[in-house]
Structure 1
Amino acid sequence: MQPGKILVAEQDGAFVIKLVGEVRLTLCTTMDDFFDDMLTSKGFASVVIDLVDATNIDSTTLGLLAKLAIKAKQRFSYVPVILSTNPDITRVLDSMGFDRVFCIRQEPVVDDEDLNELPVLPDSEDAVRAKVLEAHRVLMGMNDSNRAKFRELVTLLEGQCY
Structure 2
Amino acid sequence: MSTDIKENKYLIGEYNNEIFIKFVGNATMKNSKTLEEVFNNIFTGEKKEIVLDFEECNYMDSTMLGLIAKTAIRLKKEWNQFLYEINSSNMVKTSLKSTGVYNLMKHLDDIKQEVELKELENKDFDDKSEKAKHILEAHKTLMGLSDENKKIFKNVVEMLEKDLDK
TM-score above 0.5, yes or no: yes
Amino acid at match of 1:34: V
Unaligned runs of 5+ in 2: none
TM-score scaled to structure 1, two decimals? Answer: 0.91
Matched, 1:4 2:1: no
- Matched residue of 1:34: which SS? helix
The structural deviation recorded for 1:110 is: 4.7
- Using the TM superposition, give the Cα deviation of residue 44 of structure 1 relative to its aligned residue in structure 2, in angstroms: 2.1
Aligned AA for 2:117?
L
Report if aligned partners of 1:61, 1:135 keep a CA contact under 8 Å in 2: yes
Partner Cα distance (1:135, 1:120) in 2: 19
CA apart distance, 1:18? 0.8
Q: 1:3 to 1:40 in 2, by over 3 A?
A: same
1:109 is displaced (CA, Å) by 4.7
- For the Cα contact (< 8 Å) 2:6–2:25, is it kept in 1? yes
Partner of residue 44 from structure 2, selected from 30, 34, 40: 40
TM-superposition CA deviations, 1:9-53 (whole Å, max 9, x none) = 123431111111011111121111111111221x22201011111
Match of 2:93 in 1: 90
In structure 1, the residue matched to 2:25 is 21
Instruction: After TM superposition, give the deviation of residue 59 of structure 1 in Å.
Output: 0.6
Report the equivalent of 2:131. Answer: 128
Q: CA RMSD in A?
A: 1.7
Quickly say closer, same or farther: Cα 1:126–1:14, change in 2 above 3 A. Answer: same
CA distance in 1, matches of 2:124, 2:94: 31
Structure showing greater radius of gyration is 2
Amino acid at match of 2:118: N
Q: Are 2:76 and 1:73 aligned?
A: yes
Percent sequence identity over matched residues? 26
Match of 1:146 in 2: 149
C-alpha displacement at 1:113, in angstroms?
Answer: 5.7
The runs of 4+ residues in structure 1 deviating greater than 4 Å are 108-113
